Amino acid sequence: MGVLSNSFFCPELSPPYFLPMQKGRVIQSTGSWYHIDTGTEVVRSRLPGRFRLEGKEVTNPIAVGDWVDITINDDDTGTIEEIHERENYVTRQATHGRRGEHILAANLDMAYVVQSIRKPALKEGFIDRFLVTCEAYEVPASIIINKMDLAKEKDLGFVDHLNGLYSKLGYSVITTSLKDEDSIQELSKKLEASTSVFIGPSGVGKTSLLNAVDPSYTEKTGEISDYSNKGKHTTTFAKLITLENGGHLVDTPGIREFGLFNIEPWELSLYFPEMLEPRQHCKFNTCTHYHEPNCGVVAAFERGEIDPNRYNSYLNMLESID
């Protein structure tokens, strides 16, 4: 490259002749400040108000994982000038009485729902809501079942069942334990060379797994309190971390409930892979598959082709969005 074409680094061409624009990735957002990683430094940046007006239905116009262009101000802070279009993202219904959706992370190669087998107990309903959201927003999804060292004999059969069920639907199931180095290595391999997110309730071990995969990441983990079996809230903001192995991972705060956003009752079954074929046999194309006559999905369920817990999750979600 000729010296002149590399004008970016040429001090003579500094403002007012052109404004140096830098591309970076949002690695943390605290509400008023966005931390932008440009590859050479992390710039604390602000978002001009006009962007907030554009995303009316969204509580956060910029999410961790977004790519943006920034300009650097005299005081070394940044101003976000442009938000690049997202490839995909995961979202959930906003909490604390706020309307709209909250984007948890953007531009993902894989979203992992993290659950522990015990302490706190595994919740299939949480997994299924998460998978529906991933299907709706076209994010590949996998399931991590952590704390396998706490598994009792009967839990092992249950985990086998879940593994069979979800693998068949196209979601891989990964079992891990902080006490099983092989499982950590296996997880580490999966996180290489991609951007992933860990989403799950508080206390299941998201941050611990991250610490185990990358010992240089020293985020605090929560001790389980004896009386409630719930981890304390330690991770307060989503954070995108660059792992030693080159992977990028978003650690999110614990999410108690995963509220679905923007999904109509008739379309919900589109996000259950096992219902795609059966729903073609329904009499009505707006069928919601529980009270309507001549329903292909109910017929498939009665033939034992749809797992009862999955159908139950479907009905629970249908009720919550109806």
Ligand X SMILES: Nc1nc2c(ncn2[C@@H]2O[C@H](COP(=O)(O)OP(=O)(O)O)[C@@H](O)[C@H]2O)c(=O)[nH]1
Contacts of 156 (CB under 8 A, 6+ apart): none
Which partner from the list Zn ion, Mg ion, ligand X, none does 102 bind, CB cut-off 5 to 8 Å by kind?
none
Which partner from the list ligand X, Zn ion, Mg ion, none does 267 bind, CB cut-off 5 to 8 Å by kind?
none
289, 282 contact by CB (below 8 A) = yes
Q: To the nearest 5 percent, what fractions of the chain are helix, strand and coil?
A: 30, 25, 45
Q: Of 98, 108, 22, whose CA–CA distance to 60 is shortest?
A: 98
202 part of the interface to ligand X, by CB under 6 A: yes
Of 125, 222, 259, 265, the residue at the interface with ligand X (CB under 6 A) is 222
203 part of the interface to ligand X, by CB under 6 A: yes
Structure tokens that stand for 132 in this block: 């529906």
User: What is the nearest approach in angstroms of ligand X to the Cβ of residue 121?
Assistant: 13
**With respect to Mg ion, which residue has the nearer C-beta, 136 or 204?**
204
Structure tokens that stand for 3 in this block: 């010296």
Q: Which residue has the tokens 């498939």?
A: 300
The stretch near ligand X (CB under 6 A) out of 15-23, 122-130, 142-150, 164-172 is 142-150
- The whole-angstrom separation of Cα 119 and Cα 142 is 21
- The whole-angstrom separation of Cα 66 and Cα 81 is 13
Q: Using CB under 5 A, list all residues that contact Zn ion.
A: 282, 287, 289, 295, 297
The stretch near ligand X (CB under 6 A) out of 15-23, 79-87, 221-229, 236-244 is 221-229
Q: Which of residues 195-234 bind Mg ion (CB under 5 A)?
A: 206-207
Burial of residue 285 (CB within 10 Å: 0-12, 13-18, 19+) is exposed
Contact string (CB under 6 A) for ligand X, positions 223-242, x = contact: xx------x--xx-------
**With respect to ligand X, which residue has the nearer C-beta, 82 or 149?**
149
DSSP E strands in 96-222: the ranges are 101-106, 110-116, 141-146, 173-175, 195-199
259 part of the interface to ligand X, by CB under 6 A: no
Which partner from the list Mg ion, Zn ion, ligand X, none does 282 bind, CB cut-off 5 to 8 Å by kind?
Zn ion
- The whole-angstrom separation of Cα 32 and Cα 28 is 11
**With respect to Zn ion, which residue has the nearer C-beta, 34 or 314?**
314
- The whole-angstrom separation of Cα 247 and Cα 191 is 5
169 part of the interface to ligand X, by CB under 6 A: no
254 part of the interface to ligand X, by CB under 6 A: yes
Give me the residues paired with residue 34 across strands: 29, 45
Which partner from the list Mg ion, Zn ion, ligand X, none does 150 bind, CB cut-off 5 to 8 Å by kind?
ligand X
Q: Which residues bind ligand X (CB under 6 A)?
A: 146-147, 149-150, 177-178, 200, 202-208, 221-224, 231, 234-235, 254
